[in-house]
Amino acid sequence: MHRAGNGRKGDTAFVNPNTCGKPMNGIELEIWDDDHNKLPPGAPGEIMVRSKMTASYWNNPDANQALYTGQWLHTGDLGKLDEGGYLYFLDRKKDLIKTGGENVYPQEVENVLNRHPAIAEVTVIGLPDPEWGEAVTAVIVSNDGNALPLEEIKTFCRGNIAGYKIPKIVKMVDKIPKNETGKVIKRELRERFQRGKT
């Protein structure tokens, strides 16, 4: 990706810093739905990439087969393109929460909760729920070690995100697990709480 470098007034990359920019020369981008259909501008879906360069897993043909559809690489990332061809990253596909027939991008909820003065760190995951399919769950490290009530979190979120995106569950933790690069290991949190641990 690159941002347009001319700095012209009105250029999307400068007006909206949330864009990832446009693809570099020799790289094509499309947004696909789960049935491998190309989506129109503004519609969210998986970010697909095609170029002369190829990516593959070492000595893992099964993984390589799943990595491509034709010449198109599955990035595993969700995003959307605007009318000008600018890319907007939404979240990792595997982290998408499906609740009550709606899609929730955890990053959007995290961006809101990160503004709460009592929250030191937060990540958002989906946990199985018999009514909703998945329940939006905020995993929180507080600044002072005290628990934050669910109702306080709901009140804070109201007016900032749609109602179906507001967490239905709050889990307080001392530490959020991360890998060597500092990326949150959401899978570990999902497994932990599905086993009923607090």
pLDDT at 117: 96
What is this structure's pTM? 0.76
pLDDT at 2: 45
Ordered by where they begin, the domains of the chain are 12-92 (2.30.38.10), 96-194 (3.30.300.30)
| pLDDT bracket for residue 67 (50, 70, 90) | confident
Taking only the tens place, the pLDDT of each residue in 118-173 is 999 999 999 999 999 999 999 999 999 999 999 999 999 999 999 999 999 999 99
Which residue carries 């990326």 as its tokens? 183
pLDDT at 40: 97
Flag whether pLDDT at 4 surpasses 50.
no
Q: Choose from 9-13, 25-29, 64-68 the range with maximum mean pLDDT.
A: 25-29
- 93 CB contacts (<8 Å, ≥6 apart)? 46, 76, 77, 78
Residue among 50, 47, 56 at smallest CA distance from 76: 47
C-alpha angle with apex 18: 13 to 22, nearest 5 degrees?
45
| 51-60, 82-91, 97-106: least confidently modelled range | 51-60
pLDDT at 5: 42
| pLDDT bracket for residue 53 (50, 70, 90) | confident
Distance CA 52, CA 26 (A): 7
| 8-22, 81-95, 102-116: least confidently modelled range | 8-22
Q: Are 194 and 127 in contact (CB under 8 A)?
A: yes
